[in-house]
Structure 1
Amino acid sequence: MRVKGRAAGDDVPGRRPAGQSAGWDGMRLRRAAVRMVLCGMLMLRVSAAVSEPDDIRRDATVRAIERALPTVVNIATTRIVEYRDPYQDLFYQFYGRRAPVERREEPSSIGSGVLIDEEGYILTNFHVLRRASRVYVKLQDGRILEAEPLVYTPHKDVALLKVRAQPGERFPAIAFAADDDLILGETVIALGNPYGLGTSASRGILSSKARRPPVEGEPLGTQDWLQTDAGINPGNSGGPLINLRGELIGINVAVYRESQGMGVGFAIPVKQVNEALSEFFSPEVTRALWFGARVKGLHGPLVVVSVQPKSPAARAGLREGMEIETVNGRAVRGLVDFNRQITGAAEQPVRLGVREGRTRRTLEVRLVSFEELVQRRLGLRLLQLTPQVAAGFQVEPGEGMFVESVEPRGPADRAGVPARSLLVGVDGRSVGSLFQVVEVLMEKSPGDRVYLTLVVPRRLGQAFVEYRQVTVEVEVR
Structure 2
Amino acid sequence: MKTKIIICAAGLLAILPGAICGVTPDARRDAAVEAIEKVMPAVVNIATETIVRRTRNPFEELLWEFYDPYYRRQPSRLYSLGSGVIIDEDGYLVTNDHVVRSATRIAVKLHDGREFDCDRVATSAKSDIAVLKIRCKPGEKFTAVKFAAPGDLYLGETVLALGNPFGLGGSVSRGILSSKNRRPPSANEPLDVADWLQTDAAINPGNSGGPLINLNGELIGINVAVYREGQGIGFAIPIKLVLETLSDIFTPESLKSLWFGARFKAGESPPSVAEVQPGSPAEKAGLKSGDIITRLNGKPMRSFLELVRELVSTGPQKDIRLDLLRGGAAQTCRLQLIPESEVFNEKLVQSRLGISVQPLTDETAERIGITSTDGLLITAVEKNSPAAGAGLERGFIITELDGEPATDLLKVAKHLYTKKKGETVRMQLLVTRRRGAFITVQPAVAQVDVR
Same fold (TM over 0.5): yes
CA offsets 1:165-219 (integer angstroms, 9 cap, x no match): 2222221111000111111111111111224322111111111111112222221
**1:437 alignment counterpart:** 412
Gaps of 5+ in 1: 1-27
Contact 2:159 2:175 in 1 (8 A): yes
| Structure-2 change in CA distance of 1:41 and 1:439 (3 Å) | same
Q: Sort the Cα spacing of 1:426 and 1:236 in 2 relative to 1 into closer, same or farther, 3 A.
A: closer
- The one-letter code of the counterpart of 1:240 is P
Unaligned runs of 5+ in 2: none
| Aligned partner of residue 206 in structure 2, secondary structure | helix
Residue type of the partner of 2:320?
A: V
Counterpart in the other structure of 2:78:
106
Aligned length in residues = 434
Whole-Å separation in 2 of the counterparts to 1:397 and 1:162: 31
Check the 8 A contact 1:74/1:194 in 2, yes or no. Answer: no
Matched, 1:290 2:259: yes
Equivalent in 351, 354, 357 of residue 324 of structure 2? 354
Match of 2:105, as an amino acid?
R
Please show how residues 103-142 of structure 1 align to structure 2 within 5 Å: 103-107=75-79, 109-142=80-113
Q: Which residue of 1 aligns with 2:40?
A: 69
* C-alpha distance 191-42 of structure 1, shift in aligned 2 (>3 A): closer
1:342 is aligned to 2:311: yes
Counterpart residue type for residue 40 of structure 2? L
Q: Does structure 2 conserve the Cα–Cα contact (< 8 Å) formed by 1:176 and 1:248?
A: yes
Q: Which amino acid aligns with 1:441?
A: L
- For residues 429-475 of structure 1, what are the alpha-carbon distances to aligned partners after superposition, in whole Å with 9 as ceiling and x for unaligned? 532224422331321457988799898999999x9999999999999
SS in 2 for 1:274: helix
Structure 2 Cα separation of the partners of residues 329 and 385 of structure 1: 45
Q: Kindly provide the amino acid, as one letter, of the partner of residue 306 in structure 1.
A: E
Separation of aligned partners in 1, 2:403 and 2:170:
47
Give the Cα–Cα distance (whole angstroms) in 2 for the partners of residues 41 and 474 of structure 1: 77
Q: 2:18 matched to 1:45? A: yes
Contact 1:327 1:338 in 2 (8 A): yes
Distance 1:317 1:398, change over 3 A: farther
Of the structure 1 ranges 194-203 and 466-475, higher mean CA displacement relative to structure 2 is found in 466-475
> 1:228: Cα distance to partner?
1.1
Who wins on radius of gyration, i.e. which is larger? 1
Identity of aligned residues (%): 43
State the distance in 2 between where 1:210 and 1:467 align.
Answer: 43
- Whole-angstrom distance in 1 between the partners of 2:221 and 2:336: 35
- Which deviates further from its counterpart, 58-67 or 231-240? 231-240
What secondary structure does 1:135 align onto?
A: strand
Following superposition, which runs of at least 4 residues in structure 1 exceed 4 angstroms of deviation? 30-44, 95-98, 378-398, 417-429, 445-461, 463-477
Deviations 1:132-190 (A, max 9, x none): 22222111121222212222211211112112222222211110001111111111111
State the match for 1:179 in structure 2.
150
Task: Determine if contact 1:371/1:382 at 8 Å carries over to the other structure.
Answer: no
Instruction: Give the Cα–Cα distance (whole angstroms) in 2 for the partners of residues 474 and 247 of structure 1.
Output: 47
How big is each residue's C-alpha offset from its partner over 1:392-420, in whole Å with a ceiling of 9 and x where there is no partner?
Answer: 776678724589x99xxxx99x99x9999
Determine the C-alpha separation between the residues in 1 that align with 2:364 and 2:144: 43
Shift of the 248–390 alpha-carbon distance from structure 1 to 2, 3 Å rule, reads farther
1:291-332 residue CA offsets vs partner (Å, 9 max, x unmatched): 222211346221222223333333333332222222233321
3-state SS of 1:214 partner: coil
Offset of residue 35 of structure 1? 10
Query: Is the 8 Å Cα contact of residues 425 and 453 (structure 1) preserved in structure 2?
Result: yes
Cα 1:470–1:243 change in 2 (3 A) is: closer
Match of 2:248 among 279, 282, 286: 279
TM-score normalised to the size of structure 2?
Answer: 0.79
Match of 2:332, SS state, is strand
The equivalent of 2:127 in structure 1 is 156
Q: In the aligned structure 2, how far is the partner of 1:56 from the partner of 1:102?
A: 57
Judge which range, 58-67 or 145-154, deviates more: 145-154
